[in-house]
């Protein structure tokens, strides 16, 4: 069985946008749009076996095109690139040449610029593998697009596995050296409630990247012990969030970096739903929907207020092109970037 396809509408320029729905034997359903490679819905069971949608998004393409959505820019469920997270002042130097990018987040460059990978239509190929139904998405990012050097060929494969995981495999090649940091920006709410402050989160990371007022890393990797950033044991999101000005929007330095390693676990007590995130990336951005303000109405007319969802964006560290001490995000010609992140769902009764 392959994923099923349906129309999601047309963009203002007439481009057709498709929705693909992946299912597994347990009834899980992941729906993904070719616009932005966006996860628009993700149905998973609770402890009573009832399916519920655990990601934020919209019922129609129009929601992702509205002036309100474009103004607030939450990137619901989208694939992010060429560089996820922030690059200071929209500038970096590579091989002696300075490159200038759009500054679309205060003084900084965020999530690939004015038209990042979240706003393009990807070429889609539904399929199946021994691991489950698959959706392969491809995009060619031209040399100079959004200011980045090199033509980047990107392939992203979504797989809904028999063990109830949505797995995302990223691959990319380039013809010039370029920074690359690919991720997915899904907002999760395992309880489908008004906010996520009661969700219990564990992050296996003993350090985080300290940031300045514009959320650019200072370069310091500070121990989490004794701070509100310590999620080495489970804590509710809302337990200490008031101690963090603006809320959580930081990169955690994962303790394990070999192979597919754990990046987070989340538990929501009302529904019993659990989510385990594993990745090959060195960091994870834990963001608690601080900028959601109730101006967006999502699926079924639900208002998305502050903390309506949380993100766990697996990644290289923010501003890595300007931080030589961080793991390098530079992809060279002849190399293939490969990265995997999985979100596995379960229940605790």
Active site positions, annotated: 185, 313
What Rg, from alpha-carbon coordinates, does the chain have? 19
3-state secondary structure (DSSP) of residue 64: helix
**Which DSSP helix (H) or strand (E) runs through 174?**
strand 165-174
CB 45 within 8 A of CB 26: yes
CA 79 – CA 112 distance, rounded (Å) = 10
CA 292 – CA 282 distance, rounded (Å) = 27
DSSP string, 200-225: EEE--EEEEEEE-TTS-EEEEEEE-T
Q: How many residues does the chain have?
A: 349
> Any residues with CB less than 8 A from the CB of 65 and at least 6 apart, and which?
11, 12
Spell out a b/e string for 150-172, using b for 16 or more CB atoms within 10 Å of the CB, else e: bbbebbbbbbbbeebbbbbbbbb
- CA dihedral for 29, 258, 311, 19, sign (positive or negative): negative
Residue 74 φ/ψ region, left for φ over 0, alpha for ψ in the -120 to 50 degree band, beta for the rest: alpha
Token duo for residue 129: 């593998």
Q: What is the largest CA-CA distance in the chain?
A: 59
Cis-peptide into 82, omega within 30 deg: yes
CA 97 – CA 300 distance, rounded (Å) = 49
């Amino acid at each position: 069985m392959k994923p099923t396809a349906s129309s999601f509408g047309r963009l203002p320029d007439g481009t057709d946008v498709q929705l693909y729905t992946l299912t597994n034997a347990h009834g899980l359903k992941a729906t993904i749009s070719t616009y932005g490679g966006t996860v628009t819905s993700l149905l998973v069971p609770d402890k009573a076996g009832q399916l519920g949608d655990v990601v934020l998004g919209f019922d129609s393409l129009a929601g992702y095109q509205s002036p309100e959505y474009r103004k607030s820019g939450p990137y619901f469920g989208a694939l992010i690139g060429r560089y996820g997270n922030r690059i200071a002042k929209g500038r970096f130097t590579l091989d002696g040449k300075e490159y200038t990018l759009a500054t679309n987040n205060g003084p900084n460059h965020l999530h690939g610029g004015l038209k990042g990978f979240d706003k393009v239509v990807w070429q889609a190929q539904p399929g199946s593998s021994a691991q489950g139904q698959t959706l392969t998405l491809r995009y060619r990012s031209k040399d100079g697009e959004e200011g980045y050097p090199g033509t980047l060929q990107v392939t992203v494969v979504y797989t809904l596995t028999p063990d109830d995981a949505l797995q995302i495999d990223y691959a990319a090649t380039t013809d010039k050296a370029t920074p690359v940091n690919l991720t997915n920006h899904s907002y999760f709410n395992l309880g489908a409630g008004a906010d996520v402050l009661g969700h219990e989160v564990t992050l296996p990371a003993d350090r985080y990247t300290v940031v300045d007022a514009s959320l650019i890393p200072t370069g310091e990797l500070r121990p989490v012990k004794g701070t509100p950033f310590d999620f080495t044991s489970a804590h509710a999101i809302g337990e200490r969030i008031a101690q963090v000005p603006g809320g959580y929007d930081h990169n955690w330095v994962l303790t394990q970096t070999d192979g597919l390693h754990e990046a987070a676990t989340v538990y929501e007590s009302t529904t019993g739903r659990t989510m385990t995130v594993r990745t090959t990336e060195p960091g994870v951005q834990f963001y608690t929907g601080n900028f959601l303000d109730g101006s967006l109405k999502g699926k079924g007319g639900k208002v998305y207020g502050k903390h309506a969802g949380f993100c766990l964006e697996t990644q290289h560290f923010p501003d890595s092109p300007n931080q030589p001490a961080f793991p390098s995000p530079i992809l060279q010609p002849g190399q293939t970037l490969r990265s995997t992140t999985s979100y596995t769902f379960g229940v605790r009764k």
